[in-house]
Amino acid sequence: MGRRLNTDIALQNFDMFYKPVYGELWPSLRVSLLTSSKYCALLNTYHTEQDKIEEKLVNLGCQNGMAMLSAAFNRLKSKDLSGEGEGEGEGDKYFIKEEVNLDVVPSRPSEKMIDDDEEEDKEENLIRRAENEPIREKNTSLFDFVPADEVFTEKEKLIKAEFESSVYRGNSELVCNDLSKSRLNRLQNTLEWYLGERNPSYINISNQNAVHFQDSGFDKVLVDVPCNTDRHVVAVEENNLFKPGRLHERLTLSTTQRNLLVSGIKACSPGGSVVYSTCTLSPAQNDGVVQAACEYIWKETDIDIAVVDLDFIPAICGDIFKFYKGCRYGQLVIPSLSCNFGPMYFCKIKRLN
């Protein structure tokens, strides 16, 4: 009897742990993970022939995802402003600290926004509105086109969007940190492909363990953590997380993720926000890590934080992605044969003080 493949071990592990969680959804999720995924293409908006490339891709049958999202956002905004759908639980909300439990606190209707700089009574400081951030128009694009011979990861798309936002504001700096030198090298290749230089002066590329990250004062922090990488481990043998030699790493992964998220929260400025993301279906590595990090922050530090409700995102992005409805704190894009993106989990946390 030959050695068991690491990919088979990973799939057996998912059958054991994911099937009870996702129930009747699991057969569809399982076959989708084993099937080639779809891609979002990102157009290089600095290319001099951007319009020609976009026209070519449209002629090939590509759809402009950003236009779809903008149209969906405008429909949702019109509905909110007309007063439709108002009622219990409507509008942006925060999950806030209450005896170290995360509970939903409804806010005022969306058109009555509370400014983050508004002086309020200290006892009310925990209840805040989420920012009304409209979908950005052309040139700040998570879902625009890219030349067909180049495909980027979700992490690289987010870095690109953050870069554009920083440059347009002026006097800003983007810090990109990763413990893996190979991933940093891929990032530098992406920067060179987009910007013509590997080490722009306004981008600080750092190679350190983010658990011990010392910098602080960031307005926005993206904590894209190592995780099960579900698609990768059921398809690729090389350096598979489920190989016997990586057992300890896999068993301590949730702790590492929590420590990275705690570090990200500490690095964030008061009033700033942190986005936590993974590419796994694992509840323990998604909502579980958010819960653990919040409990640590509330018990061990003087920092106050709130988990921002992102329930509006499926309403805007539901024509492109399929979302799982069972998450408590974040949003989870789940794969399906007809819409084979993900898995991708993301959760937004705001630092209040």
Q: State how far the Cα of 9 lies from the Cα of 19, in Å rounded to an integer.
A: 15
Task: Name the token pair of 237.
Answer: 């043998």
Task: Name the token pair of 133.
Answer: 């951030």
- Which H, E and C letters describe the chain, residue by residue? CCCCCHHHHHHHHHHHHHHHHHHHHHHHHHHHHCCCCCCCCCCCCCCCCHHHHHHHHHHCCCCCHHHHHHHHHHHHHHHHHCCCCCCCCCCCEEEEEECCEEEEEECCCCCCCCCCCCCCCHHHCCCCCCCCCCCCCCCCCCCCCCCCCCCCCHHHHHHHHHHHHHHHHCCCCEEEECCCHHHHHHHHHHHHHHHCCCCCCCEEEECCCHHHCCCCCEEEEEEECCCCCHHHHCCCCCCCCCCHHHHHHHHCHHHHHHHHHHHHHHHEEEEEEEEEEECCCCCCCCHHHHHHHHHHHHHHCCCCEEEECCCHHHHHHCCCCCEECCCCCCEEECCECCECCCCEEEEEEEECC
pLDDT band at 167 (very low <50, low <70, confident <90, very high): low
Q: Residues forming the annotated binding site?
A: 178, 224
- Provide the annotated active-site residues: 279
State whether the Cα torsion 83-133-127-308 is positive or negative: positive
On whether the CB atoms of residues 65 and 320 are closer than 8 A, the answer is yes
* Domain architecture of the chain: domains with CATH: 6-151+209-351 (3.40.50.150)
Q: pTM, whole model, 2 decimals? A: 0.76
pLDDT, one tens digit per residue, over 211-253 is: 988 888 999 999 999 999 999 999 999 999 999 999 999 999 9
Sequence-ordered list of residues with C-beta below 8 angstroms from that of 177, at least 6 positions apart, any chain:
205, 206, 207, 208, 210, 213
Q: State how far the Cα of 323 lies from the Cα of 318, in Å rounded to an integer.
A: 7
The pLDDT of residue 103: 34
Least confident of 24-28, 124-128, 164-168, 279-283: 124-128
pLDDT, one tens digit per residue, over 282-339 is: 999 999 999 999 999 999 999 999 999 999 899 899 988 999 999 999 999 999 998 8
Q: Indicate the pairing of strand 218-224 with strand 93-98.
A: unpaired
On whether the CB atoms of residues 160 and 191 are closer than 8 A, the answer is no
pLDDT at 8 over 60: yes
pLDDT, one tens digit per residue, over 16-72 is: 999 999 999 999 999 999 999 988 778 877 777 888 888 888 898 888 888 888 888
Q: What is the mean pLDDT of the chain?
A: 78
Q: Residues forming the annotated binding site for S-adenosyl-L-methionine?
A: 178, 224
Q: Nearest CA to 96 among 106, 86, 88, 87?
A: 106
pLDDT, one tens digit per residue, over 242-259 is: 999 999 999 999 999 999
On whether the CB atoms of residues 92 and 132 are closer than 8 A, the answer is yes
Q: Which residue has the higher pLDDT, 115 or 270?
A: 270
- Cross-strand bridge partners of residue 175: 204
Helices 253-267/287-300 angle, 10° precision: 50
Residue type, 218: F
The pLDDT of residue 156: 53
